[in-house]
Amino acid sequence: MTTVMKIDFVSDIACPWCAVGLGALEQALEELQNEVKADIHFQPFELNPHMPEGGEDLVEHLGKKYGSTAEQQSQMYQNIKARGAEVGFAFHPTGRGRIFNTFDAHRLLHWAEHEGAPGDQHQLKKAFLEAYQGRGEIIESHDVLLAIVQSVGMDKAAAKAVLDSDTYAEEVRAKENFYTSAGIHSVPAVIINDKHLISGGQPAAVFASALRQIAAEAG
């Protein structure tokens, strides 16, 4: 018997562990394809909602935010790259360089969910992660965002209309506030059927075990 599960993947494009977590979740769902059918929704979270235009140097930003040295950050990035390789995600060889505001990308993900075809939001989310975490592209740039939209076969003109206005800004902020008020303060946060929380970029085996247990309880 196949169990249908609603999965809310709360995350930020600026978060490398979100790329790891998504890859691991996808591996787990592939393993459980005859047991679990996932209805995945990507929900917005901003690690740096007040990031100014032009972004900040990543090493300086992480140093101020977490007190980490460049050497510590380099070691952590090697760990992240290794975890990414395990789930088929190729991080930029030397890192992203700068960190940017991701609000407009979240607006486009909301647009993709509500105006796109089934699967469009998932495809666009992966493309955003690959562009920023994998290639170090300037993810705040409208030109970059529109090129990514076009690369996944979505309507570039419709996406431009969203970016040129405040469309979905209120809705995205409302969702962000909902999840932070619910106690989500780090990502990825994977919420199953509105009640089970799996936190962090867990390995595929952890996701698979949790999903099996939830399916068994539902059955």
The answer to whether the beta carbons of residues 179 and 189 sit under 8 Å apart is yes
In this predicted structure, the answer to whether residue 69 has a pLDDT above a threshold of 80 is yes
In this predicted structure, the answer to whether residue 219 has a pLDDT above a threshold of 80 is no
DSSP code of residue 52: P
194-200 own/partner pairs: CB under 8 Å, 24+ apart: 194/6, 194/8, 200/17, 200/21
Residue linked to tokens 């946060």: 189
Question: Range of 33's domain?
Answer: 3-218
Residue 37 parent element (H or E): strand 36-44
In this predicted structure, the answer to whether residue 218 has a pLDDT above a threshold of 90 is no
Give residue 83's pLDDT. Answer: 97
pLDDT tens digits, 99-137: 999 999 999 999 999 999 999 999 999 999 999 999 999
Which amino acid is located at 98 in the chain?
R
pLDDT tens digits, 180-214: 999 999 999 999 999 999 999 999 999 999 999 99
Spatial CB neighbours of 124, under 8 Å, sequence gap ≥ 6:
108, 109, 112, 116, 148, 149, 152, 154
Give residue 185's pLDDT. Answer: 94
Cα–Cα distance between 116 and 60 in angstroms, integer? 38
pLDDT tens digits, 19-68: 999 999 999 999 999 999 999 999 999 999 999 999 999 999 999 999 99
Between the two ends of the chain, the Cα-to-Cα distance in Å is 9
When divided into structural domains, the chain yields a total of 1
Cα–Cα distance between 123 and 129 in angstroms, integer? 10
CATH number at residue 103: 3.40.30.10
Cα–Cα distance between 153 and 163 in angstroms, integer? 17
- Check: pTM over 0.85? Answer yes or no: yes
pLDDT tens digits, 140-189: 999 999 999 999 999 999 999 999 999 999 999 999 999 999 999 999 99
Gyration radius from the chain CA atoms: 17
Cα–Cα distance between 193 and 180 in angstroms, integer? 18
